[in-house]
A and B are shown apart, each in its own frame.
Chain A
């Protein structure tokens, strides 16, 4: 170590990064995660279309407490001028780094922070997303459970602001739009990966008469799907990729147009538009950024009338009914 230490003391000064060099910071692992795969796809497209631009994908793994260190290493490497990422928790971390690396810019999807001149954030209206799966869950429950007690459930890995303020109320609003008598059960797992415990929680909910569950639990959501499969019940999914987990049990999947969004915003940035930084936008169903994936057998297998009612609700939402819009979060 001593020799290396000497080497370090005569290191070169930090170099100035190429303005067209982009890092995609994946706060997790891209492979197997639809949102992060879309993040990479969108950014790649924007870079491919911009002559001279370069792209590097950095995977940071799932431990959120190490993300700051990874971001800092990326910034300190001096290789990048724009860092693109997607995760609600990133703005704070980036804001912490920004003062140390004044030239660096951040574009963060699925996040919200206004007023930092180095950071542009875009938030999906996840209340609408929740509403969409809420309506579907309500319709399916009512269809299957008949006139009994109307209950649906949300199983979360842990509680966090977007969940409490957007997803959960949106989901509940969707249920109540179907029938105001709906009650929402809420369960918490405690982490993002204990699928066996998720299965256990889901199993007992299904056993007590719940027909549809929405898991917001990362990998642990697999446990909910598994429980639905073996009891012939249903799950609805968030953010895409749900149908692949089970062709029957997952009956619906709300989506976000992450690849399009990232493409558009990065394109702007690479074209030299500095005005986006400091801004915090919210995108919604109206612009087609929040939607629903119809392309699955499980969805097509739902009763004709049910699907018609659901399509109607989604169309109305895109037209602003009900209105879930908000500017500040």
Chain B
């Protein structure tokens, strides 16, 4: 018996003129993990939001345990036990973790007053039950991305728990956090809950899911039992026409050049376990160097240092032999350095500006006054760059009406369309579907081959494994080189968890 069923759901977004869902049928059984996959912009998040009562479908029906239901807000969905973990963080960052979970259902004392102590206590009970360790009274703004995700998961589980909808939950999680999430999800499934699991990672899905539904352009293309396919087949199904690539079969013989980025004895304090301690790292032209870390081990700090967002407390950061801070920013960014940030909403995009503007922002001052005033060449350039990464239908649209993956494609279009001498790419493949991911990775490889220096910062070891010439693990702010001998994965997990080989 299914717990939730969607029948012929349609949803049209006027602001982006997108038919996000076009007659979708979807069923979720209790005790199953049902994966939803598909290209960027296929309608996965929209499906999830309708299932959870955030949006109303234009037409079609939602059935809960066989009865037709209409949700007017997420509260209605919560009431029947549906919890949601959104693709983007939806927390009130100035409140505490416990307050965020309690909101809307605050425990009371003395009549109308909030019982703070009980809210914290209930939060810790919940966290203990699911094996999380977030401090209930910590202000969310002070938590790391992974910890925030834990808060969101706890919020989804706090009420009901008969259905849990997870929208790309692992895109910003490291391997360890991801593993514990999988355990949790399996446990919930085994206790009879239904799980909707949206992801682009074929590996995860094959290991985790019981059933898979493939969406394409708002329509269900296929739905099948996960046991029927292997990882490679699944990857092919998610993105039409992409063959499964053997990760280790690349690497043209490219000559190593001069050091482009030199990080020497850099320390950065005040960030807890994410502080850096005397980090040395050199990236030469013609190589891809990857640094992999689990959440909270300093990857974000290293990103800030390498991109010049903050200066180090100690040590030097040199780009082409010149201190990074001494570079005029405009010259650095328009000629030398490409930067794909982890935090794309704040750093990588100007969400309320047009897509085209976001695409050409980096080369604004490359145009002459007259060229820019005439307006056609920036627009043409934007079209060309966006086309390269497969962003379609972008004219006259604001970036924040794009789907998550398409936003990342816009960032990539801007940053990787030139021939930067140095690329700092932090989690560049987050939220990208298989096809876009491989397109992005091959673009990075091509840039390396034409002499760029690439620093790849990632919480996903797969990125490193596929691409990197040299790899490091970052654990508690210290770098350890990883030798590519023997089992790569084993070497990684040891370095990442601090277990000395």
Is chain B in direct contact with chain A in the complex (CB below 8 A)?
A: no
| B interface residue numbers (CB < 8 A to A) | none
